Structure 1
Amino acid sequence: MTYKTKMFKTKQDFIAKIHLIISVCIVIPVSFVYAFNPGFKFNIQLQTIDEHNFFKAIMGLYIGFSMLWLLGIFKQQFLKTAIVTNFVFMLGLGFGRLLSFFIDGTPTFGYQFGTFAELFLGFYGVWVLTRLKK
């Protein structure tokens, strides 16, 4: 039995998966920056082993979700799960950052842009999910 895995079979398939691809392309590199050099792009200076441990755990979480999104991109049976976890992930980050804007003040441009991108990708995922064939 041969099984071909295609990323996009139709235009609708592209619409349903493009936000997952964008998410993977952003979340994986950011996870490595957070884990190994957060001061490179962000105003973060880790001081304790616990802080380093926390950021490496975040890396693992980000990579774990990215692997699930990749499964959804390449395997149809994982697509709905990938979309749901992606919009929960993105909206959770986005709304958490919005809360921080009000409580903590305005962060650097990277986090401001990230907030917009996370909310956009999250709401896009909700929109895609509502249009998927049951």
Structure 2
Amino acid sequence: MKFPKNLNLLLSGIIVIIAGLVYGGHPTYIMPEVLNFKVEALELKNMLRAVMGIYLGIGTYWLLGAFKPKLWSGATLSNVLFMGGISLGRIVSTLFDGVSTMFTPALILELLFFVWGLYNLNKYSD
């Protein structure tokens, strides 16, 4: 099965934007429901909303890269770095903290997007 060159950016952009909204959209409500911890400190709310901003920004860049050929290469490289970096962080956490049943599927997807992005860079870059 052949996947379109831009599908990696399109899917990961949508997923990361949704994740950002989950992290920062309404952290005092969402975090206790989804991740089972309370968000009461102003600094934690600020940090989660900053993460949301990063995710919304990078996800938007990936979506733009999926539709604008001039941005494709940079967007794909940033996708590879993001997915590789977040995967590395989850692997370190798994080694030091234990296996997270909630985030292991995320790790698998992030590794998939990392490898897929590397493949696309190798295949489609000039």
Q: Give your verdict on TM over 0.5.
A: yes
Q: 2:21 is matched by which residue type in structure 1? A: F
Q: CA deviation at 1:22?
A: 1.2
Partner of 1:111: 103
5+ long unaligned stretches in structure 2: none
- What is the number of equivalent residue pairs in this alignment? 122
Which is higher, the Rg of structure 1 or of structure 2?
Answer: 1
Match runs of 1:45-124 below 5 Å: 45-107=38-100, 109-124=101-116
Evaluate the alpha carbon distance shift between residue 43 and residue 106 of structure 1 in structure 2; reply closer, same or farther with a 3 A threshold.
farther
Matched, 1:132 2:124: yes
Hey, what's the Cα distance between the residues in 1 that align with 2:45 and 2:54? 14
SS in 2 for 1:45: coil
Q: What percent of counterpart residues are identical?
A: 29
Matched, 1:43 2:36: yes
Partner of 1:16: 5
CA RMSD in angstroms, aligned pairs only = 1.7
Q: CA deviation at 1:64?
A: 0.5
Q: CA deviation at 1:73?
A: 0.9
5+ long unaligned stretches in structure 1: 1-10
Q: CA deviation at 1:123?
A: 1.1
Evaluate the alpha carbon distance shift between residue 44 and residue 24 of structure 1 in structure 2; reply closer, same or farther with a 3 A threshold.
farther
Hey, what's the Cα distance between the residues in 2 that align with 1:85 and 1:133? 14
Evaluate the alpha carbon distance shift between residue 48 and residue 87 of structure 1 in structure 2; reply closer, same or farther with a 3 A threshold.
same
Partner of 1:28: 17
